[in-house]
Amino acid sequence: MTAGSVAAVVVNYNAGAHLVACLASLAANGIDVIIVVDNGSVDDSRQVTEAAGAIWLPTGGNLGYGRAANRGAVTPAARAADYLLVCNPDVEVDAGAVAALVTSLQADPGLGLVGPRLSNVDGSLYPSARTFPDLLDAIGHGLLGMVAPRNRFTRRYRLLDWDHGGAARVDWVSGACFLARRQAWDAVGGFDPSYFMYLEDVDLCWRLGRAGWAIGYEPAPEVTHVQGVSANRHPYRMLAAHHRSMWRFAWRTTAGPKRAALPVVAVGLAGRFVVATIEHRLGRPEVPAVDSDRPRRPPSGASTGGGAPGPLP
């Protein structure tokens, strides 16, 4: 591989036609090697992968997102690359997007990981760059986010009031698609395998920050994300995994006197899980779609984060 080479790891679970489009978009970006790590699919994912000329890596079961991505990242083909692109199988990467992400990392040696602008299938913005919320914002977002998605806690946490058209350092970016510097990825050991699903991306960025690496958001490349293609197959299991991950992250990152509030957080998460389950049974999603108002730009080059991380994604 040449300097600046990229290996892509796609974590797949019965993604069907979405995987076809994902692999085609990655190939169009000239990626050196593409590895599909499969979590026990029963559809035609293997045939799709091999037809696209990508590497098929079955795990033998559903390991979850982070553990599967780690499996792909330690293969010799991935280790030989300078950069690691990790993505869902339901994303489509615009032509030139990967090169733009590589350029972003090359231009700023302090960045360990960079995420692109994510768009929903209707072209609207998905707020993929966010802050680590303090405990108050986390609680406010957790309690109000499902019923009032424009509340001030959610707006501050999801960075809905700044210009997503400008590059910036942020606290964390979505694990649906990001490019990591191999050196940074290895420094923290990739994803924490104790997260089955959800918040493994938040935790990864948090640990990178503690290791001295910055996280970047680069809007020039655009990636379309369908969302929920695999998770929707087992909604209640995913809701449970979501809330377990929130508790795990809260326990890990809350320090000092704020730990006294953890029992309240536990009760709140239990209540939120019950409400989210009822909402799903009634046919309403756990997290309502949010649109963006006219945004404001954050200070150039400055991190948008503030206090200690809270528990909610």
Convert the pLDDT of each residue in 103-139 to its tens digit.
Answer: 999 999 999 999 999 999 998 888 788 877 666 566 6
Instruction: Find the helix packing angle between 235-253 and 262-281, rounded to 10°.
Output: 160
- Which pLDDT score is estimated for 204? 96
pLDDT for 237 = 65
Closest CA to 194 of 92, 66, 86: 66
Query: If phi over 0 gives left and psi between -120 and 50 gives alpha, with beta otherwise, what is residue 64?
Result: left
Low-confidence ranges of the chain (pLDDT < 70): 1-3, 133-148, 150-164, 227-243, 245, 247, 250-251, 254-255, 259-278, 280, 283-313
Strands 129-130 and 172-173: antiparallel
Q: What is the pLDDT of residue 207?
A: 93
Whole-structure pTM value: 0.77
> In percent, how much of the chain has pLDDT > 90?
50
CATH superfamily, region 6-281: Spore Coat Polysaccharide Biosynthesis Protein SpsA; Chain A (3.90.550.10)
Question: CB-based contacts of 239: which residues, under 8 Å, 6+ apart?
Answer: 273, 276, 277, 280, 286
Tracing tokens 């006294």 back to the chain, one arrives at: 260
Q: What is the pLDDT of residues 257-296, one digit of tens each?
A: 876 666 666 666 666 666 666 676 776 554 433 333 323 3
